[in-house]
Amino acid sequence: MSLPLGTSEEPLPIRFADEPAHHLAGVPLEFADEEQSLKITGFWMVLVTDLLIFASLFASYAVYRPMVAAGPSGAQLFGLGSAIAETLFLLTSSFTVGIAVWYMRRGNQRAMIGWIVLTLLLGAGFLGLELHEFAVDIARGASWQTSAFLSSFFLLVSTHGAHVLFGILWAVGIVVQVLRRGLNAVTARKVYTFSLYWHFLDIIWVFIFTVVYLGAKIA
Amino acid sequence: MTQRRWSRGSIGPAGGSSARRILAGAVVAALGMLASGCGRQYVLLHPVGPVGHSELRLMLLAGGAMAVVILFVCVLLAIAAVRFRDRQGRRAPYVPDWHQSRILESIWFIIPVLIVAIIAVPTVRQTYALAQVPQARKPLVVDVTSLSWKWFFEYPSAHVATVNHLVLPVGKPVLFELTADSAMNTFWVPQLGGMEYTMPGEVLPLWLQADHTGVYWGHSSNFSGLQFEKMFFSVKVVSASGFSSWVRQTRRSDPALTAAAYRRLRAFGTTGTATYSGYPSGSFPKVTHRFTLTGGQYVPAVRGYGQMQMGMAGSGGTMPAGRP
Amino acid sequence: MTAPAFVPYLLHTLFPPNTHRPTEIGADVMMGLGMGYLVYWLTRHRKWGWLWRDWLTTVDHKKIGTMYLIAAILMLFRGGVDALMMRVNLAMPHAPFIGPEEYNEVFTTHGVIMIFFMAMPFIFALFNAVIPLMIGARDVAFPRLNAVSFWLFAFAAALFNLAFVVGGAPNVGWTAYPPLTELHFNPGVGTNYLLVSLLISGIGTTITGINFLVTVLRMRAPGMTLMRMPMFAWAALNTSVLILFAFPPLTVALLMTLLDRLAHTAFFTLSHGGMPMMYVNLFWLFGHPEVYIVALPAYGVFSEVVPTFSGKRLFGYTSMVVSMAAIMVLSYGVWAHHFFTMGAGAAVNAFFGISTMLIAIPTGVKIFNWIFTMWGGRIRFTTAMLYVMGFIPTFTIGGATGMFLATVPADYQVHNSYFLVAHFHNVLIGGTVFGLLAGMYYWWPKMFGYRLDERQGKLAFWLFLIGFWITFGPQYLLGFKGMPRRMWTYPAGHGWHLLNVISTAGAFVMGAGFLVLVYNVLWSMRHGERDASGDPWNGRTLEWSLPSPAPEYNFARIPTVSSLDAWWAMKQTGQGRGRGAAALRLRPQDIHAIELPRNTGYPFFLGAAFFVLGFGLVFSWWVIALLGLAGVWAALAYAWFDHDQHKHMRADEIRRIEASMGRLPA
């Protein structure tokens, strides 16, 4: 996708109704329609702001890391085992959502839905592991009320978790829409933006794993 | 404990009735404001110490440079407005398509660059200079804690403490170590020099020096709650011998501050001035890491904030509202 | 809890003592009467259906712009009344008009309302009213999200304004520095109101930023390259980028404070390792770009108004674009100048001092370019142009005092004093407010089809300008006299009284200016000169090629652009000399059917659901909060499953409309 920066190409804002929607050869379904293409551009901007949210949370976490007060430090609290398991779940789900889009581009609706469902199951598994980890921490007396360090840890990681939860609910809605209406420019765009969102969450998680869990072990 | 009422109305004339002042104000508004710029009440323009003086010099430099810019812009705008006004019989040319001039644009790119350079160089130099206490003389250290809504000062070398008033020796740099056992405030004695924040969890340094004896005033400049406007304190600058005799006098005749009394002092509210011949050892935090000339953080647990916060429930009302 | 105990508890929680002071009750009565009259009027004239169909469910950017404008002017009134209450108190320190509790609430709501609920919606009003028209688009990129933005803003503003009727207003200052905002120092719900309503309106603002960024990047008319865009479109582009990058840190800072208050986390507490400084950094990482979020649109307005009323092309267009982008980028590198006195050290302070001064360079370039746009032109001093003439000296002085504050050691003396107060009002009123009012007078005929009366407009301008200097000139001097900001009263003996009295008198002059402005609008609604040509000022940009007000679809035929100032070029060259319709030469066969976004009610419900969610959070009434959350999900789900988002306008219908406006031979 290219933005018409400084060119004189013709970005017709709203299609003339009596013209047929122009399906450009070789352009994926979701980009062929002007309106869907605009929405994809807009969604990239959503990801930019979301990235900035996480950047702020990471910066806060870095500052708060020594502020353990009377609570445990990261090195004392975090186990790498569950973090690695969570990472595997989420990385795999990023792969499966990629395959789903691959099938979508080939018009294979059933396979696409199958791979999305698998993606969501992996995502749910990730959430389950994360909630279990939280429950264990809290049972050991390490909640987000314990210290500023733990406040920032729980805020950072649970913001990511909330994003995963939102993604799962959103994708369920998309699957229902695809089942009802089939693959068209609108539903294809929704699947595509969901996949962008999911990859984005995966990248954020890689940073969480590195900065929070590995960082605690190294420091 | 000696409780002295400190009168704030000690500086300057009291003035007449409100009505007369309004009338006077209307008459002398523009001219009077400029003329009264020389009045002693413009405390920023009449510093009594080296810090305030170097800050004032920079203000005058920046103010002067800016005055030139303002004048230039206003004159240019006035000429444009008068010459090119759309009216009958106007002689100035109309050039609707003149929209570029590399020379002109370069000129007004360079003018601001030069002005920024003129101000920036001394700014940086002074910023670094003022961050250092002069090495020549050992400074007097005063530990400052802002409380809800009063000031608590400790003199570690003399082991005396005061509330809402300071006594300082003339001609000697004073290093203030600032922290808060409350919301944020700023410690500001305008006649001596600039301010610095007091923050819980951090100790920040600020050095000032008074070159003339006298009584000055200070205030918090950062809003900190209901009775913030009561956070005045007086600064009495005395001779070196006067200072040592004040310390001796205090140690002889004033009581020491107990831990319980400090807890009472912390409670929300205001108080007059007080002087103590001692203070509990934990009342100013020990900086545990990252302390530099620019300040440092301490682990608040050292200070036992947890218990204090619990103890506040009665006086401050920590009941969160709205739990059905 | 048993029923009899529950009722007094509820009454006490909802109506604590600080909601039944005379001023509060007076405001309640006024609001009640206003609402009552509105309901009566709507019922009497059977306008409920009209209200719902034409306004509450609209996705038309022009109507959304109108609603933003109405909201902004209402909020300007509220914020202005707050300001007058403060000024009265400071003029009579010995017989105060309001006590410290109320004063602290009033200066807090004044700041929050003026920045978030006056300046921001006013800017979005102008963006919505003209950006699509300027770039030759039929709507914004996401018309429905545009409505979502508006309703999130509107309900957040309603929630914030509810505070002083129900539960008590916030009293921690608009910057809301912890630990003062922690429960220990600040029990009660006021601060929750501030946090929650800013979080909600922040979502709406972010969506608006995304919307206008994509609109300007992707929806320009054919031939309108970026370097042929009007400066106001550049302003919208830069502002949108600023919004995208600035609001996330604010969201995080507010969320942390809210969690400290509601979930007892330890971000900014005195105990458990909390660190208030973190908030200050995050807040100003937002706060400084925010200054330019409200300033750049004003620059954009001036860059449209000056060429139009000078009858001359904008001087140095390229350097105007570059300097605006430079300001946008630099504004992220200066946030620490809001807290030089927080012990960051000489190196950090020197860096941020210089980066702040650097902003003077592109700003200076812009000022000179505006003056030289007038140079060699034919200047018509309309009200909009007068605001520019007031802006340039006022803003130059404001910028100069900004240089003063960037001089780090000088800032140590004047930080948080009345000098600072005078400085930021100098740039925010002299820059933003003058810019927005200039834009309002300039585009009013385009928005509503008639002009505002010029004589009344000029009177309002002079009252504002003179009132401004009487108000804030003395405040600079108060700074030199060492008066700290945010004091509800002060003792005698510092020489602060006389200057405060003068300042208060000036504030009332500005208040009179506001009244004249409102009268001007009301008078002109009835008697204002109709704008039949669509081009009342002999404008230069595409919005003036349309009839006033523009039809729902904006452009019957999307124009093709071949240069800067596209409409001016069309009027000058082969496309037909003359004003209005003649220059367009629209032919019936140019007109095709148009697909337009269909109205929808979900943005309104989404806003209402957020309101309920926010109200529940403010009082920690979790059941209500969950209900609100369910409503949010319901509205989102409805939006996701609604695939029927368009309506079609037939070509003959458009031809009929165009003919009725004299744009086509009937």
Q: Does domain C62-135+149-524 have CATH number 1.20.210.10?
A: yes
CB contact under 8 A, B81 and C314: no
Question: CA dist C485 to B324, C104, C308, Å?
Answer: 38, 11, 41
User: Looking at residue B144, what is its pLDDT?
Assistant: 94
Q: Is the pLDDT of residue B292 over 90?
A: no
Q: Is the pLDDT of residue B4 over 80?
A: no
Question: CA dist C528 to B63, C445, C446, C455, C484, Å?
Answer: 46, 10, 13, 12, 46
Contact C283, C253 (CB under 8 A): yes
Amino acid at C165: V
- CA angle, residues B148, B279, B208, in degrees to nearest 5: 65
CATH number at residue A203: 1.20.120.80
Q: Is the pLDDT of residue A79 over 90?
A: no
| Each residue's pLDDT tens digit, C483-513 | 999 999 999 889 999 999 999 999 999 999 9
User: Looking at residue B10, what is its pLDDT?
Assistant: 35
B83: burial class by Cβ within 10 Å (0-12, 13-18, 19+)? middle
Task: Note whether residue B274 is domain-resident.
Answer: yes
The token duo for B83 is 């010459």
Contacts of A148 in chain B (CB under 8 A): none
Query: What is the secondary structure of A20-40 as a DSSP string?
Result: PP---TT--HHHHSHHHHHHH
Confidence tier at C299 by pLDDT (50, 70, 90):
very high
Q: How many separate domains does chain A show?
A: 1
| Each residue's pLDDT tens digit, B25-65 | 555 554 555 555 557 889 999 999 999 999 999 999 999 99
Instruction: For residues B185 and B273, state if they share a domain.
Output: yes
**3 state SS of B155:** strand
Which structural domain, as residue segments, surrounds residue B200?
140-287+295-300
CB contact under 8 A, A69 and C266: yes
Q: Tally Cβ neighbours within 10 Å of residue A181.
A: 12
User: Looking at residue C95, what is its pLDDT?
Assistant: 83
CB contact under 8 A, C481 and B43: yes
> What's the rounded Cα separation, in Å, for the pair C515 and C460?
8
**3 state SS of C616:** helix
Considering only residues B12 and B37, tell me which one the structure prediction assigns the higher pLDDT: B37
For testing the chain A interface, which of C133, C135, C203, C210 should be mutated: the one with the most A CBs within 10 Å?
C210
Which structural domain, as residue segments, surrounds residue A110?
29-64+92-218
| Each residue's pLDDT tens digit, C400-418 | 999 989 999 999 999 999 9
Task: Express as a percent the part of chain C with pLDDT over 70.
Answer: 98
Task: Note whether residue A87 is domain-resident.
Answer: no
Considering only residues C89 and B138, tell me which one the structure prediction assigns the higher pLDDT: C89
The radius of gyration of chain C from alpha carbons, rounded to an integer in Å, stands at 25
Instruction: For residues B145 and B281, state if they share a domain.
Output: yes
| Each residue's pLDDT tens digit, B234-250 | 999 999 999 999 999 99
| Each residue's pLDDT tens digit, C105-118 | 999 999 999 999 99
Amino acid at B316: G
Q: Which residue has the tokens 């949010």?
A: C632
How many residue contacts between A and B have a Cβ separation below 8 Å?
Answer: 5
Confidence tier at B283 by pLDDT (50, 70, 90):
confident
Contacts of C372 in chain B (CB under 8 A): 80, 101, 104
User: Looking at residue B311, what is its pLDDT?
Assistant: 28
Give residue limits of the domains in chain C.
62-135+149-524
| Each residue's pLDDT tens digit, C584-605 | 778 888 889 999 999 999 999 9
**3 state SS of C128:** helix
User: Looking at residue C642, what is its pLDDT?
Assistant: 87
User: Looking at residue C572, what is its pLDDT?
Assistant: 82
Q: Is the pLDDT of residue C657 over 70?
A: yes
| Each residue's pLDDT tens digit, C50-80 | 999 999 999 999 999 999 999 999 999 999 9
User: Looking at residue B318, what is its pLDDT?
Assistant: 30
User: Looking at residue B133, what is its pLDDT?
Assistant: 81
What is the side-by-side strand order in the sheet with B214-220? B165-169, B232-238, B214-220, B185-189, B193-198
CB contact under 8 A, A173 and C640: yes
> What's the rounded Cα separation, in Å, for the pair A51 and A48?
5
Confidence tier at C579 by pLDDT (50, 70, 90):
low
Average pLDDT of chain C is 93
Task: Note whether residue B73 is domain-resident.
Answer: yes
Rounded to an integer, the average pLDDT of C309-319 is 95
Q: Is the pLDDT of residue C200 over 50?
A: yes
Pick from A115-124, A181-190, C640-649: least confident: C640-649
CB contact under 8 A, A17 and C595: yes
The token duo for A158 is 């649970």
Instruction: Residue C259: name the closest of B271, B324, A155 by CA.
Output: A155
> What's the rounded Cα separation, in Å, for the pair A189 and C360?
45
Confidence tier at B299 by pLDDT (50, 70, 90):
very low
Average pLDDT of chain A is 87
Average pLDDT of chain B is 80
Q: Is the pLDDT of residue C23 over 70?
A: yes
Q: Which residues of B touch A (CB under 8 A)?
A: 289, 299-301
Q: How many separate domains does chain B show?
A: 2
> What's the rounded Cα separation, in Å, for the pair C369 and C641?
51
Contacts of A204 in chain C (CB under 8 A): none
Residue B161 phi/psi, 5-degree rounding, is -140, 155
**Interchain contact A42–C (C-beta under 8 A):** yes
The 3-state secondary structure of C31-71, one letter per residue: HHHHHHHHHHHHHHCCCHHHHHHHHHCCCCHHHHHHHHHHH
Pick from A127-136, B11-20, C356-365, C436-445: least confident: B11-20
Task: Note whether residue A194 is domain-resident.
Answer: yes
CB contact under 8 A, C276 and B201: yes
Q: Is the pLDDT of residue B24 over 60?
A: no
H-state helical runs in chain B: 18-35, 50-83, 102-130, 240-253, 259-266, 305-311
**3 state SS of B230:** helix
Pick from A22-26, A189-193, B259-263: least confident: A22-26
Task: Express as a percent the part of chain A with pLDDT over 90.
Answer: 73
Rounded to an integer, the average pLDDT of C20-29 is 84
Instruction: Residue C19: name the closest of C82, C105, C89 by CA.
Output: C105
Task: List strand residue ranges (DSSP E) for C510-613, in order.
Answer: 594-597
Pick from B13-22, B310-319, C170-179: least confident: B310-319
Q: What's the DSSP call for residue C449?
A: S
**Global pTM?**
0.91
Q: Is the pLDDT of residue B213 over 80?
A: yes
Q: How far is B238 from chain A (nearest CA, A)?
A: 43
Question: CA dist B45 to B216, C127, C142, Å?
Answer: 14, 45, 56
Residue of A nearest to B297 (CA): A67
